[in-house]
Amino acid sequence: MPARRRMPRLLLYVLVALASFTLGAAWWLYRPDAPRAVLEARWAAPPSQFLAVAGLRLHVRDTGPRDAPVILALHGFGASLHAWEDVAVGLRETHRVIRIDLPGFGLTGADPTGDYSDARTTQVVLALLDALRLDRVNLLGSSMGGRMAWRFAAEHPARVERLVLMAPDGFASPGRDYGRTPRVPWLMHALPYTLPDPLLRGTLRGAFADPATLSQPLFERYRDMMLAPGVRRAIIDRMAHAALVAPEPFLARIMAPTLLLWGDQDRMVPVTNAQDYLRAMRDARLVALPGIGHVPMEEVPAQVIDALRDFIPGAAPRR
């Protein structure tokens, strides 16, 4: 009988070490969703509320005088309604500010329909206005939320008094075509199972002109909202169906006076993109904030408050 071949001992040690390293790395990188009850206890204290809207349990904050001009604020990709908190507090005497976690983000979480298209978000915003019995609002959107805002203003012009677009998304960047679904990088498919703090922190820092603005509490809020149940999977689903449509036909239909509010040090959506909007819209003007990045409402909320007060006159403060 021929002798059995034995695996060389060194190779066996190498394979065992490699397997141990791989399992150890997988264990170290694995990050499950955080319990909803824990997140809501920390991040959904009053004035947070949850409303049944368009089949969603929509996380909403609605503050300010009921008879004051209404601002509905839509956050950007990966963010939450908390991004507007300093602005809402600064306007609480003169404006009613409603902010929501968009479907697939924050404590609203995954959309049971699995539909993360702009058309679905438009439907949700319309259903919210109807549920709150609001005929018209001033619509404010940041980045991805800016794209949702101009899409809504184009399709429902009678419901929008004034429009504020903060570094809005919408025009295709070089190498990306309209109408084509982008390929999701294969590494992104690991997102529902992992969220390394250093990687997330590095990504978030790029949103601020001064990276020191990303304090530990601010980082923890972003991280916790990413760990909300179903959010990371929803992000992958959104990316897999995120085919851009040419914005010019929509922008040309917008009737509301529009303010473009942009940080001039924005590295994510450069302020030069504002020229595309100024060419396409009938009534738009640009205010560029010097030395500011992609999220002015978190970097310089006082300047955002001033710009909003100038553009959207409010009620007289109550005494």
Domain CATH for 114: 3.40.50.1820
Which domain does 187 fall in, by range?
A: 36-171+180-311
Q: Pick the closest to residue 119 from 250, 232, 248, 233 (CA basis).
A: 250
DSSP secondary structure letter of residue 100: E
Q: Is residue 93 part of a domain?
A: yes
More confident residue, 290 or 172: 290
Number of domains in the chain: 1
Q: Is residue 120 part of a domain?
A: yes
How remote is the C-alpha of 87 from its chain's centroid?
Answer: 16
Dihedral (CA of 159, 154, 162, 289) sign:
positive
From first CA to last CA, the distance across the chain in angstroms is 101
* Reported confidence tier of residue 23, pLDDT bands at 50, 70, 90: very low
What pLDDT, on a 0 to 100 scale, did the predictor assign at position 18?
42
pTM: 0.89
Percent of the chain with pLDDT over 70: 90
Q: Is residue 196 part of a domain?
A: yes
What pLDDT, on a 0 to 100 scale, did the predictor assign at position 160?
98
* Reported confidence tier of residue 15, pLDDT bands at 50, 70, 90: very low
Q: Is residue 1 part of a domain?
A: no
Q: Is residue 16 part of a domain?
A: no
